[in-house]
Amino acid sequence: MLLLQLLINGLQLGAIYALTAVGFSLIFGATKIFHVAHGAAFTIAAYLFWWSNAVLGLNWLLAAALAVVAAVAFGLFMERCVYRLIQRHEGAFFTVFIAAFGVQIIVQNLIGTVFGRGFVSVTTPLSHSVQVLPGLFVAPVAALAIVVAVIGFSALTNYLSRTHTGMAMRALSENPDLIRVFGLDPGRVAQYAFAIGSAIVVPGAIFTAMTAGLNPAVGAHVMLISLAATIVGGIGSLRGAAYGGLLLGLAENLALWRLDPQWSEAVTFVVLFLFIIFRPAGFFGRPHAAK
Amino acid sequence: MRRLRFLALLAAIQWGAAAASAQDSIKIGADLPMSGPNAEYGELFGAAANLAVEHANADKMLSKKLSIQFEDSQATPQQGVVAMNKLVNVEKVPFVLSAFTGVSKAIAPVGDRAKVVSVNGGGIGPDLAELGEYFWNVIPLVNLEIRVMAPYLVQERGFKKIALIYVDDPAGEAIQKELKENVPKAGGQMVAELQVPRNAQQFTSIAAKVREAGPDLVFIASFGAQQAQIVKQLRDNGVSQQLASYSAFSSPTVTQLPEAKGALFPTQSVDWRAAGMSERVAKDWKAKTGKEPNAYVANYYNAVMVFVHLAQALEKSGQPLTGENLLKQRKANGSFDLVGGKMEFLPNGSVSMPIQINEIDGGAGKMVKGGTMAK
């Protein structure tokens, strides 16, 4: 029964990881910008949801809408006011990385100053587990996280493959000039990537506020997992990032079946190292020829 | 050129003003977590220390104004040492407030070499009593807490089977060692010992392991946001047994967490209604924060007041305020009148105080067993 319990817990956590990793992967895949501040979008969305729902008492749907608006606004701000400015001055990849890292720290401190540095969480019956079989506890939020992850991923995949903007987003990383030929503005397409990539962290942020709770430093962990999932899944592949997130969530939980709990997070990175050594292109990434 | 001269003049005036103000004040240091997942503690400890400074300055206890230079340890040993080096070598303070077992152990050699006193009011690892003459503790260490807590839980409350969730850092490991020794001694049994990484945030599967072990009580030995996350996730995931912890549960984040209601934790015995210093601190703390004070408030207030009392004595005898003189004076002083009553340092620089047991009731916690000295 313990194994089944760990499997269900792993699926719930994996769904949350997948949702955040997909957003990071979408932005990185389309723009080649290493958006380390993706974790900050997660933190902003989670805190805004908590504040408007648990503190102000707003309806959860309205609170979720506010969280989406805030995450998207943050993503657009980063693209427009930070990355684009650096790239205009031919800023190197490392400059972009440091700038994003700096913003992540600023956001962490701002959140701490505005909302307090302690632990907060959204109290909801959705996070309370019920015993479905002797020794097997499942919370409604587990099923919800899996369903939302599947719907979110399917909607995103459809959008990217069936709409002009979606196709342009996929093309942006390959050949920005080609996008101009089709009369589209690469800057605008990059903004779409940031807006959608930031919006898709919101469900994961809300589920985290309900299940694990929040502190201002929560984004750093999220970013680490998103990055690991992107590498495991194959850089640039959304499907890969989703599977990568799911695999890491499962590995973190199933490790407890045989190993002591202090190894559960280490297992995530063992999986990452195994991929780097034996399958550097990840699940679905394209292998790069040595230059 | 004229503009350059003006800027140089402005810089000189500013430098002169800063130097003059440094001479007009007595500065001590604080190496506390101001960012990261444990920043909540730094905020709490710093506010208590600042209240002591405010009182000392209002009462004109020293010849010059007292101030605190805060540096951010992020609750990590590496960052703690960086901050300590700055306080010792750049700010040249004779006295530093410290917190967290790992940080305290890392900064102690720096203070020892420079003959700067470090005072811990938050870390609880028993080996903090063995960090040399320049490292003092104003908090009873966890070995004393557990020696009171274990017999209470097992013998008085009948929780025979105990599961432990502990963080993989010196504080968590110290608690595991103490429980492993004291629970069987009291007639109980450790049925699970689950060590979790310091930055772990997911505990749903830990809850499954706890349920499988079937304990009467779950003891949580973590700190910061993580301990609240553990409590919430245990309760959300079918763990309904009694919860208990060490003094870290007196953090407002935990005491106000609905899922933590009923949890038991020890602290040193403080009667906040006692006339004099305790009553004044409680009143001013409540006016400033709107909350009841807890044991940490007493500790960091007391840590600053220990410095004030020692500095007063040194000023009276015309000796400079150096770490070396503070140490000599502490040995000469004997006891100190502080929040919670008289405090006396043991020869190893730590303190022995009566320990009370509290239950979380939605406020700062209500006392369920009065002060007992650890055996």
B122-161 residue pLDDT tens: 998 888 999 999 999 999 888 889 999 999 999 999 999 9
Task: Using alpha carbons, list the distances in angstroms from residue A60 to A56, A65, A67, B267.
Answer: 11, 9, 10, 39
Kindly state whether B208 is in contact with chain A, defined as any CB-CB distance less than 8 angstroms: yes
Return the bridge partners of B242, or none: B217
> How is residue B311 written in tokens?
């500095």
Number of other CB atoms surrounding residue B179 within 10 Å: 24
Query: CA B161, CA B183: separation in Å to the nearest integer?
Result: 9
Give the residue with greater pLDDT, B194 vs A217.
B194
CA B141 to centroid of chain Cα atoms: 10
Best interface-test mutation with B: which of A215, A221, A256 has the largest number of B CBs within 10 A?
A215
Our CA-based measurement puts residue B282 at a distance from the nearest CA of chain A, in whole angstroms, of 22
For residue B210, which amino acid is it? V
At residue A118, the pLDDT reads 83
Average pLDDT over residues B68-82: 95
Task: Using alpha carbons, list the distances in angstroms from residue A246 to A15, A237, A249, B187.
Answer: 6, 14, 5, 44
At residue B17, the pLDDT reads 47
Whether the pLDDT of residue B11 is over 80: the answer is no
Whether the pLDDT of residue B334 is over 90: the answer is no
Long-range contact set of residues A265-270: C-beta below 8 Å, sequence gap at least 24: A265/B197, A265/B199, A265/B200, A266/B197, A268/A225, A268/A228, A269/A228
Kindly state whether A139 is in contact with chain B, defined as any CB-CB distance less than 8 angstroms: yes
Average pLDDT over residues B275-288: 93
Nearest of A179, A161, A205, A180 to residue A72 by alpha carbon = A205
Our CA-based measurement puts residue B226 at a distance from the nearest CA of chain A, in whole angstroms, of 8
Q: What percent of chain B has pLDDT over 90?
A: 68
At residue B1, the pLDDT reads 46
Residue B249 contacts residue B260 (beta carbons within 8 Å): yes
Which band of pLDDT confidence, cut at 50, 70 and 90, is reported for residue B53? very high
Kindly state whether B190 is in contact with chain A, defined as any CB-CB distance less than 8 angstroms: no
Whether the pLDDT of residue B5 is over 70: the answer is no
Whether the pLDDT of residue B306 is over 70: the answer is yes
Whether the pLDDT of residue B49 is over 60: the answer is yes
Average pLDDT over residues B80-95: 96
* ipTM here: 0.85
Do B258 and A123 lie within an 8 Å CB cutoff? yes
Whether the pLDDT of residue B363 is over 80: the answer is no
Query: CA A244, CA A246: separation in Å to the nearest integer?
Result: 5
Our CA-based measurement puts residue A243 at a distance from the nearest CA of chain B, in whole angstroms, of 19
At residue A289, the pLDDT reads 46
Kindly state whether B209 is in contact with chain A, defined as any CB-CB distance less than 8 angstroms: yes
Mean pLDDT estimate for chain B: 90
Query: CA B207, CA B229: separation in Å to the nearest integer?
Result: 12
Query: CA A91, CA A83: separation in Å to the nearest integer?
Result: 9
Regions of chain A where pLDDT drops below 70: 90-91, 285-291
At residue A291, the pLDDT reads 41
At residue A91, the pLDDT reads 67
At residue B298, the pLDDT reads 94
Q: How far apart are the first and last CA of chain B?
A: 74
